[in-house]
Amino acid sequence: MSWFEKPAEAPARVPTEAIWAVCPSCKAYVAKEVWRAADKVCPKCNYHDRLSCRERVALLTDAGSFKELNAAVSFNDPLKFTDASGAYAAKAKATAEKTGVGESVLTGTATIEGVPVVLGVMDFRFLGGSLGSGTGERILLAAEKAVELKRPLIIVSASGGARMHEGIVSLMQMAKTCAAIARLKEAGLPYLSLLTDPTTGGVSASYAMVGDLNIAEPKALIGFAGRRVIEQTIKQKLPDDFQTAEYTMAHGFVDRIVPRKELKGFLAKVLKYAGF
């Protein structure tokens, strides 16, 4: 009767987080393989979750076509900024090591359904996708490369705004990036701006909103100041859908809302229509 005496083996348990993804919007549990197959779009409520810059590149470009540019351009610390949580330089370095990207935007050349483009993709994981001096420099160089190669420029924005750690140097990037895009337009080359959740602050007030075509993902947060700040300033209650992609489009700031699954085909169609 030794089997009575043998201690029971603990059943193998797979951690819940290894099996399920939880939608940040409706809190529905979605099997991770379904979540990945849907490119992080919730099948219950159609919420478009945030993608990393490399996930976004894989979604939009032809396999193997992306070649990174200006990887050596990284963050700067002109103010030697430090706050209660530590030094900015240390935080930025730790973030770069964790995410594998040296700045809040990844830039490079690629093809989209065979159409050659220059691409910039912001990554919210890098200090909230904030606009720093390195971000602005990468976007400037990407625009210059587009002019040099005579290719369209596409920038995918995902940002909380200007990087406070760099002070006025960060704010200067708003003018710098817009000047770079103006040169692109002088050369007769299109600039397509894709606004994803969130696109706010100094990014929405600069290069994100000056595209020849401003495209947004469904329900993306798009705006400048936050809802609470605006309500406290104007002493009025704002609509429930305020600063969504749909609200922004209804008020003329966005030209088209395109679901994630359709983005690659839509961009290719636009570029081919433009003669590329």
Residue 101 tokens read as: 């990207």
The boundaries of the domain holding residue 40 are 13-49
Same domain? For 35 and 132 the reply is no
Same domain? For 113 and 190 the reply is yes
Same domain? For 100 and 135 the reply is yes
Neighbours of 123 (CB within 10 A): 26
Over the stretch 55-68, which tens digit does the pLDDT of each residue have? 999 999 999 999 99
Over the stretch 245-265, which tens digit does the pLDDT of each residue have? 999 999 999 999 999 999 999
Same domain? For 95 and 146 the reply is yes
Same domain? For 116 and 209 the reply is yes
Same domain? For 57 and 143 the reply is yes
| Euclidean distance between CA atoms 250 and 35, whole angstroms | 30
Residue with tokens 């810059």: 53
Average of per-residue pLDDT across 93-115: 97
Backbone angles phi, psi at 18, to 5 degrees: -80, -15
* Confidence tier at 18 by pLDDT (50, 70, 90): confident
Rounded to a whole number, what is the distance in angstroms from the first to the last CA of the chain?
Answer: 79
**Pairing of the two strands 256-257 and 213-216:** parallel
Is residue 245 within 8 Å of 195, Cβ to Cβ?
yes
Higher pLDDT, 202 or 3: 202
Find the DSSP H helices in 11-132. Answer: 16-19, 32-37, 53-60, 88-99
- For residue 209, what pLDDT is reported? 97
Average of per-residue pLDDT across 99-120: 97
Same domain? For 44 and 143 the reply is no
Same domain? For 97 and 35 the reply is no
Same domain? For 190 and 253 the reply is yes
Closest CA to 122 of 94, 97, 103: 103
CATH number of the domain to which 192 belongs: 3.90.226.10
> Does residue 6 lie in a domain region?
no
The number of domains in the chain is 2
Whether residue 11 is predicted with pLDDT greater than 90 in this model: the reply is no
Closest CA to 133 of 89, 75, 92: 75
Over the stretch 159-211, which tens digit does the pLDDT of each residue have? 999 999 999 999 999 999 999 999 999 999 999 999 999 999 999 999 999 99
Same domain? For 76 and 201 the reply is yes
